[in-house]
Amino acid sequence: MNRQAQAAVLFLTGAALLHAGLTDQYLRYVKAGLRPMLLLSGAVLIAAALATAWYEYRASRPGGTPAAGAEGPPAHAHREPRVSWLLTLPLFALILVAPPALGSYSAMRAGTALQQPFGYDRLPAKGPLDLSVVDYATRAVYTHGREIEGRVLRIEGFVALDRAGHPYLVRMALNCCAADAQPVKIALTGTIPPVLQPDKWLEVSGTYTPRTTKDPVNGGPVPYFEVTHAKPIPTPADPYDETWNT
């Protein structure tokens, strides 16, 4: 690959990173806190591409400075096959097509990654509580619902069904990026919609129940949630749960 092609690939890669970082597309790959690093990386790649193109342009002008190692008798230039430009197609795909977030297929083939946190955020004394899947699951399992028992709770997540058809509300929790995402699951009971489609997002309202079960994949603890009302919601801009390290 010659320098012009290298500059083009660098530019397209940087543009793809900037495009992802300036839109919500980057949330399909990394956690929100890494956005500045993603934008910086894109800017550095574009700067490197422009510098490479400028250096090559100067070297190609009459009297221009030849590239290092270019001294000596002229050699026969070997043109790269045009098919090599197909290497840029994945970059255009990255810009134009946003991949779907990990969903029920991945969640039900991996065991729950529930871990006891170092601490818990303080909850409002009154009113309904909006909890994440991870927050509810850790409080239900490790504090036995001490602060949430008897409270009206609202939780959002996507639907997953095990092989027996039992419904779960799931969020994929991540440390850094989608490659290390792991599911945290809540088993649903109570007033559940008669028809549930995997990967559809729900907001469920209800209450804590001390009932628990074991994950069918790894035997990890999975708490139940007593549903009193459920409604479909759009897929959120950030589909992953980032309360993982709290």
Q: Where are the domains of the chain?
A: 3-73+81-96, 104-241
Q: Which pLDDT score is estimated for 204?
A: 96
Average confidence (pLDDT) over 38-66 = 76
What pTM did the predictor assign?
Answer: 0.68
Average confidence (pLDDT) over 134-145 = 94
Beta strand pairing status for 153-161 and 129-131? parallel
Residue 46 has pLDDT above 70, yes or no: yes
Q: Which pLDDT score is estimated for 85?
A: 61
Average confidence (pLDDT) over 55-62 = 75
Residue 91 has pLDDT above 80, yes or no: no
Q: Which pLDDT score is estimated for 246?
A: 44
- Read off the pLDDT of residues 187-209 as tens digits, 9 standing for 90 and up: 999 999 888 999 999 999 999 99
Of the candidates 49, 66, 61, the residue with the CA atom closest to the CA atom of residue 7:
49
Residue 41 has pLDDT above 70, yes or no: yes
Q: Which pLDDT score is estimated for 84?
A: 59
Residue 28 has pLDDT above 80, yes or no: no
Average confidence (pLDDT) over 133-155 = 94
Alpha-carbon distance of 168 to 45, in angstroms, equals: 42
Residue 90 has pLDDT above 80, yes or no: no
**Percentage of the chain surpassing pLDDT 90?**
34
142 vs 53 pLDDT, higher one = 142
Residue 95 has pLDDT above 50, yes or no: yes
**Lowest-confidence region among 101-105, 154-158, 174-178:** 174-178
Q: Does domain 104-241 have CATH number 2.40.50?
A: yes
Q: Which pLDDT score is estimated for 70?
A: 47
CB atoms within 10 A of CB 78: 7
Average pLDDT of the residues of the chain: 80
